[in-house]
Amino acid sequence: MQNSRSLVLCLIALLCPAAAQEEALDQTLITRARAVLGSGLGSADSVSDSLIGLPDLPSRMRAAERFKKTDVEPEPILLDRAIDPAEYILGPGDHLHIYIWGRVEENHRLMVNSECRVVVPRIGVIDVRGKTLAEGRALLEEQVLAKYRGVRVQVTLSTIRRFRCYVLGEVERPGAYIATGVTRVSDAIRMAGGITDSGATRGIVVANEVLGSRTADMAKFFNSTVIEANPYLREGDRVFVPHRTQYVSVHGAVPYPYVYDYCDGDMAADLIEAAGGLGRGVDSSRIIITRFADNHDELERFVVSIADLESFELRRDDRLMVSGHADYRVHRNVTIEGEVRFPGVYPIREDQTRLSDAIQAAGGLTEDASFSTSRIIRDTLMDQKDPELVRLKVVEPQLLDPTEIAYIRSRSRQSESSVRIDVGMLRGAGFDEDDIILRNGDRVIIARKELTVLVSGAVVAPGHVPYNEGAGYRHYIREAGGYAERARKRWVRVRRKGTRVFRDPGDVGGIRPGDEILVAERTYRDPLLTARDYVAIVSSLATVVLTVFTIQSLVRE
């Protein structure tokens, strides 16, 4: 008998560790174990047979894990705002400070007892059950003034009470938690680990058998800051987060479009409020509500205005579409930089504001503005991919024909986002091709006049040389110290400012400020490598000649 009892105790200890015995074993398991011990069964098989029919222990213990480690330690009392005497409900544990001065000087610090009563010395017992701080204060002052003449009374809340509340349902850690008179429903849910993925954020029940039940709506509170949707907790409250089973959705011109939980009695205005209210550019006369007419695909469609939202009652699975005006007050701007009097960001009108209008708004050009080298950077051009260029770049170079190679080189030299402009032409009357229509996000960069010419390449002193009107390219090369030792004097090229192509000096029509003169340099070659190349060429030619003579000899024979 003693062996059987020891065996059963060992079995129970193995199935339920000591740390979880109280939560994992319910009264049914304990009763069944006692029955086994009392029956005098002496084998492990008999004990196992007697436990058949109980729920699976591991699964029951996993469910019990949700009820473990609840926060029972009180947190510091932090107020989210000053206490409203008309809203705060007095309860057991609240401390009131009563100041009496005048013909009588008294000072009492009193606590509301467990029966919601306040015992005031020489005054009596005052019942404050269910009363707000404002109502309790008025009642206490009335009783004091009835007792004493010629005095003044001040009643304040000195200490906020603590009490136990329950958070149940679809939260991570259901259980009992310590709350205060200024703990809101959202605070209790946070202490319980938050709402699970299958939990509802609307229609949260705050049950109270004595004070009556209420509901909380986290969507309204967090998306629209409706404080009434997140009430304070009271003694006896049980917060229950239900499972998500019914839905309504809202889309369109609202800050938080989403599929929300449906609550009985929901009006269209409630759903809009849960979604953060109406957004910008709402069409006040066109809010579309789509509803299932049956349990399949038959739909009904209602078009209501904003004025009808308060009276239009929703049904589960309704879908709201809040229409909005297209391009409602779009902020279109361009940035003007460089040589204008007032650089900055300026508003434009779509398809109407031209370059000259923007420059005029910026105060016009300065005296140092360069007419022909200014440009516009347009982001939309960067997004326009050239499919032909993309295709050619993945082809092996030896497979490309000369036209395709020239196309790749030409496109590679182009600036994808830059448009060259000649602002000097804008000073004339009327519009021309340079007075382009601006787009939202354009950057207009008015360049500064260049008073130098850049000389680079195989010269003695590469760098900028002062511009001399009418001088040719040789003048600037001399100013740069002349040709270097390895310069290719017959290969001199000029590039206009703002371009990427070097051209022959005779094709550019003279040197301008900001131009670049490039003198090519002879490539260094190792004499041994050059001799080797010549030997290889001669050997190849000799082989070809020998092959030809051999073929001719064979033909004659």
Checking if the pLDDT of 215 tops 80, the result is: yes
Q: Where among 138, 160, 182 does a domain terminate?
A: 160
Checking if the pLDDT of 556 tops 60, the result is: yes
pLDDT band at 499 (very low <50, low <70, confident <90, very high): confident
Tell me the mean pLDDT in the region 193-222.
94
pLDDT band at 111 (very low <50, low <70, confident <90, very high): very high
Contacts 24+ apart (CB under 8 A), 343-351: 348/438, 348/440, 350/440, 351/437
Q: Which of 487, 491, 494, 421 is nearest to 453 (CA)?
A: 494
User: Do 235 and 253 fall into the same domain?
Assistant: no
Q: Cβ distance 292 to 302 under 8 Å?
A: no
Kindly state the tokens that stand for 385: 């991919």
Contacts 24+ apart (CB under 8 A), 61-65: 61/16, 61/20, 61/23, 61/24, 64/20, 64/23, 64/24
Domain count, the chain: 6
Is 126 inside a domain boundary? Answer: yes
State the Cα–Cα distance between residues 7 and 162, nearest whole angstrom.
Answer: 46
pTM score: 0.61
Q: CA 138 → CA 26, 27, 148, distances in Å? A: 50, 51, 15
Q: Where among 324, 340, 359 does a domain terminate?
A: 324
Tell me the mean pLDDT in the region 117-135.
92
Checking if the pLDDT of 50 tops 80, the result is: no
Is 304 inside a domain boundary? Answer: yes
User: Do 36 and 101 fall into the same domain?
Assistant: no
Q: Which amino acid is at 6?
A: S
Please enumerate in sequence order all residues whose Cβ is within 8 A of that of 266, keeping only pairs 6 or more positions apart, or say none.
248, 313, 314
Q: Where among 160, 182, 208 does a domain terminate?
A: 160
pLDDT band at 32 (very low <50, low <70, confident <90, very high): very low
User: Do 177 and 231 fall into the same domain?
Assistant: yes
Checking if the pLDDT of 384 tops 90, the result is: no
When computed from its CA atoms, the radius of gyration of the chain, rounded to whole angstroms, is 45
Is 512 inside a domain boundary? Answer: yes
3-state SS track over 106-162: EEEEEECCCCCEEEECCCEEEECCCCEHHHHHHHHHHHHHHHCCCEEEEEEEEECCE
For the chain, the maximum distance between any two Cα atoms, rounded to a whole number of angstroms, is 153
Q: What is the pLDDT of residue 196?
A: 96
Q: What is the pLDDT of residue 425?
A: 59
% of the chain surpassing 90 pLDDT: 48
Q: Cβ distance 511 to 472 under 8 Å?
A: yes
Is 89 inside a domain boundary? Answer: no
Q: What is the mean pLDDT of the chain?
A: 81
Q: What is the pLDDT of residue 326?
A: 85
User: Do 235 and 182 fall into the same domain?
Assistant: yes
pLDDT band at 535 (very low <50, low <70, confident <90, very high): confident
Tell me the mean pLDDT in the region 158-185.
94
Q: Cβ distance 300 to 290 under 8 Å?
A: yes
User: Do 478 and 499 fall into the same domain?
Assistant: yes
Tell me the mean pLDDT in the region 306-325.
94
Q: CA 55 → CA 30, 31, 271, distances in Å? A: 13, 14, 42
Q: CA 353 → CA 100, 350, 357, 459, distances in Å? A: 75, 7, 6, 47
Residue 214: beta bridge partners?
206
Burial class (CB in 10 A: 0-12, 13-18, 19+), 257: middle
Q: What is the pLDDT of residue 533?
A: 77
State the Cα–Cα distance between residues 127 and 500, nearest whole angstrom.
Answer: 92
Is 436 inside a domain boundary? Answer: no
The CATH number of the domain holding residue 235 is 3.10.560.10
Q: What is the pLDDT of residue 526?
A: 66
Tell me the per-residue pLDDT of 240-278, one tens digit each, with 9 for 90 and over: 999 999 999 999 999 999 999 999 999 999 999 999 999
Kindly state the tokens that stand for 156: 């304040």
CA angle at 257 for the pair 256 and 260, rounded to the nearest 5°: 100
User: Do 175 and 222 fall into the same domain?
Assistant: yes
- Check residues 410 and 535 and name the one with the higher pLDDT: 535
User: Do 252 and 315 fall into the same domain?
Assistant: yes
Tell me the per-residue pLDDT of 447-473, one tens digit each, with 9 for 90 and over: 888 888 999 988 999 999 998 988 999
Is 364 inside a domain boundary? Answer: no
CA angle at 343 for the pair 337 and 349, rounded to the nearest 5°: 90
Is 421 inside a domain boundary? Answer: no
Is 83 inside a domain boundary? Answer: no
Task: Provide the residue range defining the domain that includes 37.
Answer: 2-65
